[in-house]
Amino acid sequence: MAKGAQAKEALIKRFAAAVGADYCGEADKKYYFWSVENGERVQIAVSMTCPKTPVAFNGNGGDLNFDDEGATAPAATASSPVDMDADEKATLERLMKELDL
């Protein structure tokens, strides 16, 4: 089995669980998901590779234990709600109705 194959499989399972019914499946080594853009449902294809040399990013991955598959992501910080103006509220209500949400 190629390097990273099990890691990619574990990660795609986490992605699929997170998006639920919006995960379509795999074809030609790509993973397909449904998303919404400008009120229209579009399909997104994602391909994954395991880099030969890990890339370092500031504040991401420095001290993480990648062997611990049971670890969860850090909790999101609380934010204050944003007030919407009348136009934004009307747009949101229209989209919710159109998307049957």
Residue 34 pLDDT: 95
Distance CA 86, CA 78 (A): 25
Is residue 52 pLDDT above 70, yes or no? yes
Under 8 Å CB-to-CB from 49, ≥6 apart: which residues?
4
Query: What pTM was computed for the model?
Result: 0.53
Range with top average pLDDT, 9-13, 53-57, 92-96: 9-13
Is residue 97 pLDDT above 60, yes or no? yes
| Long-range contact set of residues 10-19: C-beta below 8 Å, sequence gap at least 24 | 10/69, 11/48, 12/48
Query: What does R_g of the chain's alpha carbons equal in angstroms?
Result: 18
